[in-house]
Amino acid sequence: MPTLLIRHATVLVTMDEQRHEIADGGLFARDGFIQQIGPTDALPTEADLVLDLSDHLVAPGLINTHHHFYQTLTRAVPAAQNANLFNWLKTLYPIWARLTPSAVSVSTQTALVELALSGCTAASDHLYLFPNGARLDDEILAAQEVGVRLHASRGSMSLGESQGGLPPDSVVENEASILNDSQRLIEAYHDPNPGSSTQVVLAPCSPFSVTSNLMRESAALAREYGVHLHTHLAETQDEEVFCLEKFGYRPVDYMDLLNWVGPNVWFAHSVYVNRDEIERYAKTGCGVAHCPSSNMRLASGIAPILDMVSHGVRVGLGVDGSASNDSSHLLSEARQAMLVSRLRAGLEGASLSNQGTPSLMTARQALEIATRGGAAVLGRSDIGSLEPGKCADFFAINLNRLDYAGALHDPVAAILFCAPVAVDYTVVGGRVIVEKGQMTTLDLPRLVEVHNREARQLLPG
Ligand SMILES: [Zn+2]
């Protein structure tokens, strides 16, 4: 029964119900779950592994609720650098059609290592192309070597160009085989228990790449097995126009029609949602993965996140696919969320006084979205905060560094306001996967070498 003791953290951010922040804090964990938390002098003095985190901030592991790991292979592709969503997709689909099982595997590890080094302990991924024999299994098995918890989405596309969809017919799949494979994956890998390291999600890609029938069938299958549903929604104005023209509904109304609402559903983006739609999200329990860098990169817009939070919508954070970010730095994404929310407030004419006006997202709100918020979106009650009974999932940052010089009157705010840094420790279920800034589970130089080789094969010449 391995035990872990954390001692002397300068501040330990719990994100519990009362949002306690504990000075000279620590925690004691057994078998991956927290048993005690509090000031160091109130904790046991011995454990199998003892970490003295003097001069460090400790916070719950960050949770990524939207990503496309495979896109780490196609970052900064010249032809897709200056395009909006639909043009960006049309440029990249033929490149992604060359994906292979080994490309899925290595890109999974690259993305998860980047996430882990930025404090992430649980991530959802959305893989929706399966060319050349690639399977979601390639991702799930590769992730297990890294040690970050994975919610692997079985994505899908079935509405090709010839049927009025956006993707070329060559990358869409037959609907019967999508549903068969979805069922196989749930039965093979989905673990709903506390401390789960792998869960499966069903995730038809977007209104412009799947049929209504596949949306309905996926929802029925997900509900039969008790797994979550995920898709892109209300990301751009182009999508809104597409939905109105093709289906006669705004994106959120279209989801209502398909029975795609409820606490087992979360949507990526939701930039273009009105007040009524936000209230419906809150009422039905739909969650949102906010991806601010991607929304800026593709000139999509600014999601009304603070409105959603104040209405009680479950909101988490996502770095989105690495071809539209082009990074998997989750702490940086939390900073982006805070900053772009303020930009929206400013553009809407809100007061810009620094007296904590409710219209400005605070550093602690951004951290809350990235932790508690993400756990709520993924439907997990065992992660997202540091409390007895929850998973020992956290990160630690050494505060004694150039980036935070002059900001230590409020270390919690410093990690959001100051330049995003790589973390010093990431611990998942009591297992240290980042130690003194280094991955303990993978050989990083070799990973980068293999990754670049796979990327060159996707973009010959
Ligand atoms: Zn996405």
**Distance in Å, CA 322 to ligand 1 centroid:** 9
Chain-wide mean pLDDT for the chain? Answer: 96
In percent, how much of the chain has pLDDT > 90?
96
Asked if residues 268 and 246 have their Cβ atoms less than 8 Å apart, the reply is: no
**Distance in Å, CA 91 to ligand 1 centroid:** 15
**Distance in Å, CA 127 to ligand 1 centroid:** 9
**Distance in Å, CA 201 to ligand 1 centroid:** 14
Give tens-digit pLDDT for 376-433. 999 999 999 999 999 999 999 999 999 999 999 999 999 999 999 999 999 999 999 9
| Helix/strand/coil for 158 | coil
**Distance in Å, CA 268 to ligand 1 centroid:** 6
Cβ neighbors of 38 (< 8 A, separation 6 or more) are 22, 25, 26, 27
Give tens-digit pLDDT for 281-321. 999 999 999 999 999 999 999 999 999 999 999 999 999 99
Query: Strand 62-64 to strand 287-290: parallel, antiparallel, or no bridges (unpaired)?
Result: unpaired
Query: Strand 21-30 to strand 33-39: parallel, antiparallel, or no bridges (unpaired)?
Result: antiparallel
Q: Kindly report the backbone phi and psi dihedral angles of residue 127, in degrees, each rounded to the nearest multiple of 5, phi listed first.
A: -105, 120
Paired tokens of 287? 């969650």
**Distance in Å, CA 461 to ligand 1 centroid:** 27
**Distance in Å, CA 67 to ligand 1 centroid:** 6
Average pLDDT over residues 238-244: 94
**Distance in Å, CA 366 to ligand 1 centroid:** 20
**Distance in Å, CA 385 to ligand 1 centroid:** 26
DSSP character string of 37-95 = EEEGGGS-S--SEEEE-TTEEEEEPEEE----GGGGGGTT-GGGTT--HHHHHHHHHHH
**Distance in Å, CA 16 to ligand 1 centroid:** 30
**Distance in Å, CA 44 to ligand 1 centroid:** 44
**Distance in Å, CA 68 to ligand 1 centroid:** 6
**Distance in Å, CA 269 to ligand 1 centroid:** 8
Burial of residue 269, with CB atoms counted within 10 A of its CB: 0-12 exposed, 13-18 middle, 19 or more buried: buried
Query: Strand 287-290 to strand 265-269: parallel, antiparallel, or no bridges (unpaired)?
Result: parallel
**Distance in Å, CA 71 to ligand 1 centroid:** 10
- Give residue 332's pLDDT: 98
- Give residue 359's pLDDT: 80
Give tens-digit pLDDT for 171-224. 999 999 999 999 999 999 999 999 999 999 999 999 999 999 999 999 999 999
**Distance in Å, CA 313 to ligand 1 centroid:** 20
**Distance in Å, CA 279 to ligand 1 centroid:** 23
Total-model pTM: 0.97
Angstrom CA distances, 266 to 153, 263, 269, 396, 452, stand at 12, 8, 10, 29, 33
**Distance in Å, CA 258 to ligand 1 centroid:** 20
Give tens-digit pLDDT for 315-369. 999 999 999 999 999 999 999 999 999 999 998 875 555 554 558 999 999 999 9
Q: How far apart are CA 117 and CA 120, in angstroms?
A: 7
